[in-house]
Amino acid sequence: MASIGTELVNSLWFILPAYLANASPVVLGGGRPLDFGRSFPDKRRIFGDGKTWRGFVGGILVGVIVGIIQGIIYPYISLNAPANNLTVFPYGMRAVLLSIGALLGDISGSFVKRRINLKRGAPFPVMDQIGFLVFAFIITAWRFSVPMMYVIILLPLTFFAHLISNIAAYWAGLKTVWY
Ligand code: CTP
Ligand code: MG
């Protein structure tokens, strides 16, 4: 059994493609919405203007590139993690699943938000913070090992890291709402 510090580093290394896939759309997004402006039968938008093609595809590409880089540099850094011991190709494939999972989680959250009549950008606690992570775990587990210890560490860690970074961005004047 590895120490908690080792498990923490290993779980962050494991989830890095999903984190960066999830964070990139804010920078890369914009342009044509994923739902092309269309509505669902309930007359509300399918996903809304906050989910764009550029954000979706760009996020997946960033995550996959990060995974490939991890697979290349892995032999040169010392990480003691059996589940991370993959060669470049499986590293890249795992990053594909982590990234697609993260972005599917993101748009699923927006889909649910529109169904319950929440406007774009309205807070949806828990789903906003860790929805992407839950989807990334589930989709990745289809083909790769997802150690339960990583799930146990990353769910609360991501939840609080998300809140803290948003509060910091609010204090810094980068955001107009604290959540
Ligand atoms: N974004 C994007 N494409 C995506 C996801 C995000 O372009 N697939 C961009 C949008 O500019 C979005 C911003 O990143 O406004 C922040 O993302 P997020 O908080 O997920 O979207 P919200 O605007 O809060 O919309 P929603 O209420 O649907 O979550
Ligand atoms: Mg939001």
Tens digit of pLDDT for each residue in 71-107? 999 888 877 665 566 788 899 999 999 999 999 999 9
Cα distances from 17 to residues 40, 121, 125, in angstroms, run 31, 24, 23
Residues 6+ apart with CB under 8 A from 21: 59, 60, 62, 63, 66, 98, 99, 102, 103
Q: Among 49, 51, 52, 127, which residue has the most ligand 1 atoms within 8 Å of its CB, making it the best to mutate? A: 51
Flag whether 178 is in a domain.
no
Instruction: Give the total number of structural domains in the chain.
Output: 1
Render pLDDT for 16-62 as a digit per residue (tens, 0 to 9): 999 999 999 999 999 999 999 999 999 999 999 999 999 999 999 99
Q: Whose CA is nearest to atom 7 of ligand 1?
A: 29
Flag whether 133 is in a domain.
yes
Flag whether 76 is in a domain.
yes
Is the confidence at residue 68, as pLDDT, over 70? yes
The residue to which tokens 């011991």 are assigned: 85
Q: How far apart are CA 13 and CA 39, in angstroms?
A: 39
**Which pTM was predicted?**
0.94
Flag whether 68 is in a domain.
yes
Q: Describe the chain by its helix, strand, coil percentages, rounded to 5.
A: 65, 0, 30
What is the Å distance from ligand 1's center to 12 Cα? 23
Region of 146 on the Ramachandran plot (φ > 0 left; ψ -120 to 50 alpha; else beta): beta
Q: How far apart are CA 114 and CA 103, in angstroms?
A: 17
Q: What is the pLDDT of residue 76?
A: 87
Render pLDDT for 137-177 as a digit per residue (tens, 0 to 9): 999 999 999 999 999 999 999 999 999 988 998 999 888 88
Handedness of CA 65, 69, 74, 77 (dihedral sign): negative
Flag whether 55 is in a domain.
yes
Cα distances from 108 to residues 4, 28, 46, 156, in angstroms, run 32, 19, 10, 20
Flag whether 177 is in a domain.
no
Domain that holds residue 43: 4-171
Handedness of CA 160, 46, 49, 19 (dihedral sign): positive
Work out the pLDDT band at 135, boundaries 50, 70, 90: very high
Flag whether 176 is in a domain.
no
Three-class DSSP category at 117: coil
Flag whether 164 is in a domain.
yes
What is the Å distance from ligand 2's center to 123 Cα? 7
